[in-house]
Amino acid sequence: MKACHLKSILLVLMSSVLLATCSGSGGPFFASGGIDGSGVISKGSISAFGSIFVNGTEFDTSNAAIFINGVEIGIGDEAVRENLDIGRVITVEGIRNEDPNTAVADRVIYSNNVKGPVESISDADAITREILVLGQMVVVNAATYFNGTTFDTIAPDDVVEVSGLFDDTGAIWATFIGKTGGVVPGLEVEVTGYIANLDPVLQSFEINGLTVDYALADTSALPDGMPAEGLFAEVQGTRDAIGEEMAASGILLGDELDADDAGEIEVTGFVTDFVSPSEFTVGNQPVLTG
């Protein structure tokens, strides 16, 4: 069983595999499997390179296609090392070997949770900081890996890329933060989350309190070509001068697992919605057990 940290994180293994909570509460539940039992999809943070380790499985990425924010940027181990870091949350699709701890990856997919300037920093306690980035609450602690900055040196107006797991409040528990620069005019920013308070007349919506103006955005990749209330979306654009609103240039569907294409699915994340022990959501992934 994987090490537990933060709060209420689950590793969900679907395909007749045990589900358990970090606290040890909750008994075994079993989820329905995929179409043929041959494929595996694993979503979680990178724990080591080897090729790549996610959720305790070593994936051979020597021939895997690497996708960053929806764009294929290369194939193989070199593309992995040049574009990914320990702590980033990724999705790996592949085929498990006879050794259950190894698999061969077909695709590695990464999208950040939020990219933009640090707006404020406060200390929750001696080992935990709460950082506001584009209106998104980011929790930083001992589980966070850093690149280009540190727990002690991160500062307001640093432009950072955040990868992590969001909880039921929408806060992002950062497993990775990378500093990419400082604030400049026309800075491109990104945010991923659920669309709320959609106003088709004003052509705006909110993601965790951040107002997004989509009047000039390319929305052609969305279902029906338009934003919808409750849709999990990735938004790209620029922020206004005072940082209170984002002008979207493009909106895509947020990463979701293609459950029909795998016999085994692994998801690490917080329970963000709970209906019953047989129906709940981990991150943005609905889970039905039976």
Pull the structure tokens for residue 267: 């998801």
Report whether pLDDT(73) > 70. Answer: yes
Q: Which residues contact 256 (CB under 8 A, 6 or more apart)?
A: 232, 284, 285
Dist CA 282 CA 199 (whole Å):
28
Pull the structure tokens for residue 22: 């970090």
The rounded percent of the chain whose pLDDT value lies above 90 is: 61
On average, the pLDDT of the chain sits at: 84
Least confident of 14-18, 28-32, 100-104, 231-235: 28-32
pLDDT classification of 33: cutoffs 50, 70, 90:
very low
* 3 exposure class (CB count in 10 Å sphere: 0-12, 13-18, 19+): exposed
**DSSP characters over 248-264:** EEEEEEPP---GGG-SE
Residue 43 CA neighbour count, 13 Å, CB half:
25
Cα three-residue angle 104-13-162, rounded to 5 degrees? 75
Kindly calculate the radius of gyration of the chain based on its CA atoms and give it in whole angstroms.
Answer: 19
Pull the structure tokens for residue 29: 């539940």
Residue 243 CA neighbour count, 13 Å, CB half:
15
